[in-house]
Amino acid sequence: MIYIKNLMSGVNIFKALSSEVRIQILELLATNQSLNLNEIASKLNLSNGAITMHIKKLEDSGLIEINTAVGKHGLQKICYLNKDKLMVDLKNKEVANLYEVEIKIGHYSNYHAVPTCGLATRDSIIGDFDEPRYFADPQRVDSEIIWISEGFLEYRIPNYLKPNHIFSEIQFSMELSSEAPGYCDNYPSDIYFYVNNIEIGSWTSPGDFGDIRGTFNPDWWPPHLNQYGMLKLIRINNDGSFIDGCRISNVTLQDIGLDYKSDILFQIAVTNKPFNKRGLTIYGKSFGNYAQDLLTRVLYTVHNDDKATSNE
């Protein structure tokens, strides 16, 4: 994720996005993962010279990365998206410090799985379909897609804060959908989120999507199963809890009571509440439309007194 903390620091990116051609190039790379200059020029019906100028601006902004590879006609420049997401903080508030960790979706620390359920790596299904006992298989840490009809997945988030650090915000980003037998695009499911067993809110997934193949799905993954989800961003700070910028509860960091000694347990769950109980699916790097696992960002400030002491 490219994170723009204030508007002025993102000027080069905003300039790069001011062209419809450059946006079309980004859309092509998001769909195809990588393309060389000739392929991009051909798909947009433009000359290589015109494409080269646009590619340079995208590279200079950090939105794409270019590698050189040997092709049939000599060296070729291969273009990739540098990051899958762009986040802009319009409030222009300064963040003193942050750290970011990406946890494999199979690296959960606790679980409860009710069929239909299952796990798969990028190469194969783990065990059998609808067998919860395979959720304890050591190979689970390599899972790239996990689905359950009811239950939860809990992840232990590392806490790297020091005694003079104070939590200011925690963010969780992941690709989610419902869990239908096969798939069903209209299949709403209420997915709940917890931090240290405190419910911070829920989101209703509209469906378990399978209308088109997921961008990163391996070739062996059957077309009659779910293919992709929706990328969701959860934020918990001193003002409340939010998903994609919309408030989902008034639970704050103070309510959770985190400090530098705290465990941080993040849970995604489908409960027995009597509304839309239609499962959940979480996608890792090798499945779905976003090349990421569970991405966590911790923002914190440094206590002024301790800063002054450390500088003496």
Q: For every one of its 312 residues, what pLDDT tens digit does the chain have, with 9 covering 90 and above?
A: 676 766 767 788 888 899 999 999 999 998 887 899 999 999 999 998 889 999 999 998 989 989 887 766 677 888 988 877 787 766 655 555 899 999 999 999 999 999 999 999 999 999 999 999 999 999 999 999 999 999 999 999 999 999 999 999 999 999 999 999 999 999 999 999 999 999 999 999 999 999 999 989 999 999 999 999 999 999 999 999 999 999 999 999 999 999 999 999 999 999 988 789 999 999 999 999 998 999 999 999 998 764 444 443
Identify whether residues 242 and 136 lie together within a single domain.
Answer: yes
Residue-wise DSSP of 179-198: --SS-BSS--EEEEEEETTE
Q: Which of 235, 233, 295, 300 is nearest to 262 (CA)?
A: 300
Residue 215 neighbours by CB under 8 Å, 6+ apart: 30, 31, 33, 228, 288, 289
Residue 30 lies in a domain: yes
d(CA 253, CA 214): 35
User: For residues 100 and 296, what is the distance between their CA atoms, to the nearest angstrom?
Assistant: 6
Residue at which a domain ends, from 86, 116, 147:
86
Regarding whether 282 and 203 lie in a shared domain, the answer is: yes
* Domain boundary residue, one of 46, 65, 86: 86
Whether residue 29 contacts residue 83, with contact meaning beta carbons closer than 8 Å, is answered with: no
Separation of alpha carbons 228 and 289, rounded Å: 6
Domain count, the chain: 2
Pair (36, 164) in one structural domain? no
CATH number of the domain that residue 60 is part of: 1.10.10.10
What pTM, to 2 d.p., does this model score? 0.74
The range of the structural domain enclosing residue 55 comes to 2-86
Nearest CA to 162 among 99, 209, 225? Answer: 99
Residue 82, amino acid: N
Same domain, 108 and 73: no
Q: What is the helix (H) or strand (E) element at residue 130, kind and residue range? A: none
